[in-house]
A and B are shown apart, each in its own frame.
Chain A
């Protein structure tokens, strides 16, 4: 047993109550949902919040639903719900690809999409998935709601746009009919941080890539979009030549660091290979979908 430093604990039964508690108790207060990032850090005394506000009872924030031309995902939706959602499986199989390689069933049963995104871990998978798909996040405070694009959400590692008295309530993903998507990751062992991971989506029209997104994990900022690679793909015929060019671009523009998981050059090389593999798989799904 590891013993966290002393902290206060409160329980919120509504979003408004959670926001009121955040406002009342100030910046050393943290929301806790699944707790799979925060609690280990507290047990190691690397994080020492003065107060936790438990939001596990806000079950009205646990949903995956279609709203017009968008998918809305409540912030308290657990990994296991994302993994088993028929809506996501049919529109964006990238979610299932990613969920299969996120930690283990115990973590997936408790961890939430809101917690995952707000942790701001550069190696976190859903940050890369949401950035890939050009999603956005709804952020609420006592005074109102704002919407921030996932690609603008991170200020740096472990730093987001969410202020001390705000909380993310929903993630919104635009629906792109006929899109194919995929997620590829290499890790030393399930549950470890990724060595590198790549997500992508493609839409293809007349054999030409009409739209695309590529998001990277563990090789730079959280949910790092591969903007140059995306530009290189758009308007190009789908195929190995395009994928190879995009792979080179993604590898050249990511910012990996040498650590226990390997040297930066290895991670760059992995980004190239995983970009190729993800694009191939996404394209195959486009074809299977009949676009």
Chain B
């Protein structure tokens, strides 16, 4: 690599001037001549038979072009929506899902018809006039109820509600528990969350019948995968379908899997012969975009009296919703990561995926790792509490310290220094000082608590073998293409997708440093399947830098190899006698004899190349990482709980994280701010609520679904340690999900620490004032 100037620098985000001045181009900013507008008629029932659809009043409304139902779409679309093996390859029951309901609706918000009109208001008015006759069926809302033999079934024709039921054995659990001197058990809820990206979903499609070309613009984290699925369902060769995901206003995992509208909008365009656009409303977003979490854990931990952890036994009941999410079983990775940063003799984890009459769950920022971390960090704190040990001491006693470290399920943590992040976090947060202030506060009857979360995650998806098995075929490697144009500017294409991550900046830093060109000479492109490598793998699982960044690096290095050979030819020297510094090749010992990379690029398009060398200066590279990457850190939160009102106030939040080498510290900090905010949101505010009797979504607007604002967020104090990853030559790990994985446990451990003197040992999320008040009332009895 060239001498690094940009890698590691706090380069301001290049994309921001455009985005913050309103010049972003999201789906709703795209239009086409003759564009029509689609709105969706959705089931108001969680479970019902569809007896009939009368669209006559709707079609009579001015501006309405068509009302389509399942009957129409079956003419255009075949098959069912995809479900991957992920971490639960042996599934018991997978109900088939067609993008639009036919005879039976299985969750509130499931599409039953679509209206296409010449403007969006007319389409919305017509939705109100489509009369669907339903015969309500018994619905099941609670996943634990759904497991009972006498439960209502989420699908009338299903055998039961069990999507999967499998157990991961990590060591001899009976032997570990046999040695136990103490055992603690806990039941821990992971409430359903709505991802609530700032840009809701949206799809615009244009089908051209004569050349059978389909273009789909959609707000997606991975347009190549959506192209694969949609071309298959419509029977159009993949090469004739173009997927474009331009600026995307946030995803958080909710824009990975294909959605019904991803199929319905292109199919409607084909049926109608006109371009069609659909933009999701906020209520549709909360109701029909995937939910995250939605799990109930029961866990038992075994330990020795000196704090040595022995065994962990747990069951994850995962609320699938009405259908398997395409990557729904990824969330079972909570089981594989339940051991956290500690040495355990054995872990046994059973995961049960349960169908209910609710919108499907699927990966949401962290996807299984926040749940695993929350569970592990709560259980370790519970053991410490039973033993009267400081939560810091029990962590130190059990940290993994030798790397690579293989966990109980055979996953290999590449590098780590858990004492390093914890030591720095203790110092930075003034942990001992807070412990003293906590004692003083308790003397005054005030409830102050300090919570620690030492976390690790698996990310950087991923090595080809396990990820191809998880998707059922396609390995989640990454592809990049880099082209030097004759004038010396650089066009770089990558198969990841940025929707807030700042790739335009960080990736360009890597390319500019490696190729020795100015940052401004690099044009980074992604999100259009018509450009760049044949397939892109998208952005999720904190993978973009460790996999996509590496693909760009390897492509850059391939270009440098060719450029070096060409420069040597131009300078009449041997390639090995050249050195490459500051964007120029020069002959060692004769710096006057030199060619800039731009001169070499221009020459590459001319005549007189070396024997056997083709014109042009470009490269395509796929990077297949040898392992996942394993970032880690220590978060410390201080809260005060109001003894009378139950309100929680965060007094201090400190995070010391380690994601290996850092390309751009400012972007790392931004990711942590956002990640911590999203996890504090889970800990204290957000919860998707369905009425348990009626199955109706109660939190269907932003008035009821409490996304916190900047007012409620602590300003975290951040620092870093650097333990490079040995998995890739950049030495980098992921950071996009870190804050979300770490923070809920720190906050809830702090709340539990505050309430400990009242005899309260566990608080579920969100730790809302009324929930804490009720726990305090029960404790007083």
Which residues of A line the B interface, CB within 8 A? Answer: 1-3, 5-6, 40, 44-45, 104, 186, 188-193, 195, 260-263, 265-266, 269-270, 273-274
A34 to chain B, nearest CB (A): 16
Is the pair A3, B121 in contact by a Cβ cutoff of 8 Å? Answer: yes
Query: How far does the alpha carbon of A274 sit from the alpha carbon of B773 in the complex, in Å?
Result: 14
Is the pair A189, B685 in contact by a Cβ cutoff of 8 Å? Answer: yes
Is the pair B703, A263 in contact by a Cβ cutoff of 8 Å? Answer: no
Across the interface, which residues of A come within 8 angstroms of B385, CB to CB?
none
B615 contacts the other chain (CB 8 A): no
B125 to chain A, nearest CB (A): 7
Is the pair B712, A189 in contact by a Cβ cutoff of 8 Å? Answer: yes
Query: How far does the alpha carbon of A104 sit from the alpha carbon of B647 in the complex, in Å?
Result: 19
One of B124, B706, B712 near A3 (C-beta < 8 A): B124
Across the interface, which residues of B come within 8 angstroms of A104, CB to CB?
709, 711
Across the interface, which residues of B come within 8 angstroms of A274, CB to CB?
645
Across the interface, which residues of B come within 8 angstroms of A192, CB to CB?
703, 706
Is the pair B281, A2 in contact by a Cβ cutoff of 8 Å? Answer: yes
Is the pair A188, B709 in contact by a Cβ cutoff of 8 Å? Answer: no
B residues contacting the other copy or chain, number (CB 8 A): 32
Is the pair A186, B711 in contact by a Cβ cutoff of 8 Å? Answer: no
Is the pair A190, B770 in contact by a Cβ cutoff of 8 Å? Answer: no
Is the pair A191, B125 in contact by a Cβ cutoff of 8 Å? Answer: no
Task: Enumerate 26 A-B pairs (CB-CB under 8 Å) in ascending A order.
Answer: A1-B120, A1-B281, A2-B281, A2-B283, A3-B120, A3-B121, A5-B128, A40-B701, A40-B703, A44-B701, A104-B709, A186-B647, A188-B706, A189-B706, A189-B712, A191-B703, A191-B709, A193-B703, A261-B770, A262-B769, A263-B774, A266-B770, A266-B774, A269-B644, A270-B773, A274-B645
Across the interface, which residues of A come within 8 angstroms of B645, CB to CB?
186, 270, 273-274
Query: How many A-B residue contacts, CB cutoff 8 Å?
Result: 70
A162 to chain B, nearest CB (A): 24
B183 contacts the other chain (CB 8 A): no
Across the interface, which residues of B come within 8 angstroms of A189, CB to CB?
685, 706, 708-709, 712
8 A Cβ contacts from B727-781 to A: 768-770, 773-774, 777
Is the pair B647, A6 in contact by a Cβ cutoff of 8 Å? Answer: no
Query: How far does the alpha carbon of A269 sit from the alpha carbon of B772 in the complex, in Å?
Result: 13
Nearest CB in chain B to that of A265: its residue: B777
Is the pair A1, B769 in contact by a Cβ cutoff of 8 Å? Answer: no
Is the pair B283, A44 in contact by a Cβ cutoff of 8 Å? Answer: yes
B584 contacts the other chain (CB 8 A): no
Query: How far does the alpha carbon of A11 sit from the alpha carbon of B124 in the complex, in Å?
Result: 26
With A2-B283, A6-B121, A44-B283 as contacts: A266 and B773 at CB distance below 8 Å:
yes
Query: How far does the alpha carbon of A265 sit from the alpha carbon of B711 in the complex, in Å?
Result: 28
B219 to chain A, nearest CB (A): 14
One of A1, A2, A3, A195 near B770 (C-beta < 8 A): A195
Query: How far does the alpha carbon of A190 sit from the alpha carbon of B281 in the complex, in Å?
Result: 23
In the A-B complex, the 6 residue pairs with the closest CB atoms? A262-B770, A3-B124, A273-B644, A189-B706, A2-B281, A186-B645
Query: How far does the alpha carbon of A240 sit from the alpha carbon of B645 in the complex, in Å?
Result: 19
One of B125, B711, B777 near A190 (C-beta < 8 A): B711
With A189-B685, A263-B770, A266-B773 as contacts: A5 and B125 at CB distance below 8 Å:
yes
* Most-contacted residue by chain A among B120, B689, B768 (CB, 10 A): B768
A42 to chain B, nearest CB (A): 12
Query: How far does the alpha carbon of A260 sit from the alpha carbon of B125 in the complex, in Å?
Result: 31
Across the interface, which residues of A come within 8 angstroms of B97, CB to CB?
none
Across the interface, which residues of A come within 8 angstroms of B770, CB to CB?
195, 261-263, 266
Query: How far does the alpha carbon of A274 sit from the alpha carbon of B646 in the complex, in Å?
Result: 12
